[in-house]
Amino acid sequence: MNLNFSTHFCLVSAQATPNLTPALDSVLKPKRMVLVTSPDMFRQSKALAGVLKRHQIIVELLAIADAYDYAGIEDTFLQWVAAHESENVALNLTGGNKLMAMAAQSIFSSAGKPMFYVNAESDDVIFLGRRDLSHRLVSSVKLRDYLEAHGYTLENQPMKPDIPSARRELTDRLIDRVESAGDALGQLNWLAKEAANPSLLSPLLDERQRDSIALQGVIELFEDARIAERKDGRLQFSSEADRAFANGGWLEFHVYQTLAGLAPDARITDYAVNLRVTAPDGKTKNELDAAFLQKNRLHIVETKASNLAAQGSSGDGKATEAIYKLEALLKLGGQRTRAMLIDYRGKLTAADKARAAASHIRLVSGSQLKCLKVEMRNWINAAR
């Protein structure tokens, strides 16, 4: 059987991935997609259609009036198949509800049309009634495709930074000092935050800050990397990007370096930092510190260089706020999305850890950052 079908007949559900990944596979990619759409799935169909059209795939929406009217669904499918009897079309059975899948399988089986199911856990395509056929998806899905297929708008170009060696060395040294540099780095983060002004100058360092050997040592690291310099008792940043880097952005870059090292062996197909997304409601906005796709599963990473034991802006602790945010973001890419919280200063309480565990949020805290590559590899492998 030639697997290059001209048309995929797909049943739309809240999970976009099983319809998207075969469509962008180098072997299975069709010229046209028929998206069977019930009234409650119209938004999901429009989101998926937008991504498919960007990849030069023609999209047809086939509406069904009632997702639980089996006879009506069967009649709709029968009429469509009869009108396209001579076409090279295959049924993707992975989406929809059970009634839609049953009706589609009945009609396509009677018409002698090929049918397949996508095992999302393994990326294997299973062809019904054809044990001799097998195919492992080689998908070209990128973060933008994935997010937008699930109804989220990516508002910026995902950052894929080219990190100079001096900055790589800086982040490595900060990780090496994770047990001792936390409080001093917190002071530096605050100074960088307060320098968010046209001059990019921090407030005057007070006597305690000037006398702090730990803080002066951290400042020297950033001076060596040419990110900041001492000027008349203040810190001067050379650019807004440098100021943001000092204000916690360095930890995002460290995560990016780690992902770059993991990507080839771990089958990570796309990764980036600093992604700004808008939810399907058009109002709710979130920033993803880092995100990557591995085996077509979205992984979200929240990085915190600040003291998570402190009180946040909402009145809850900063750790609680970070966990709340990740709990909300777990809905972003469907049921298989995973989340990790990275806490540089190691200030998570037992209650924080229990809350994260209950929400299946992976934690990497304090000295664990020295083995971040191993922690991430274990996290990825744990999903298999």
Please give the chain's pLDDT, 384 residues, in tens.
678 899 999 999 999 999 999 999 999 999 999 999 999 999 999 999 999 999 999 999 999 999 999 999 999 999 999 999 999 999 999 999 999 999 999 999 999 999 999 998 888 999 998 877 888 888 678 999 999 999 999 998 877 888 889 999 999 999 999 989 989 999 999 999 999 989 999 999 999 999 999 999 999 999 999 999 999 999 999 999 999 999 999 999 999 999 999 999 998 999 999 999 998 888 889 999 999 999 889 999 999 998 888 766 666 788 999 999 999 999 887 778 999 999 999 988 899 999 999 999 999 999 999 999 999 999 999 875
- Owner of token pair 């059970």: 98
Give pTM, 2 decimals. 0.91
- Structure tokens given for 163: 């990190």
Residues 6+ apart with CB under 8 A from 38: 12, 63, 64, 66, 67, 100
Of the candidates 308, 292, 311, 309, the one whose C-alpha atom is nearest the C-alpha of residue 300 is 292
Q: Which domains does the chain have, with CATH numbers?
A: 7-140 (3.40.50.10770), 142-384 (3.40.1350.10)
For residues 98 and 104, give the distance between their C-alpha atoms in angstroms, rounded to a whole number: 10
Cβ(92)–Cβ(11) below 8 Å: yes
Cβ(204)–Cβ(198) below 8 Å: no
- Structure tokens given for 275: 């992604």
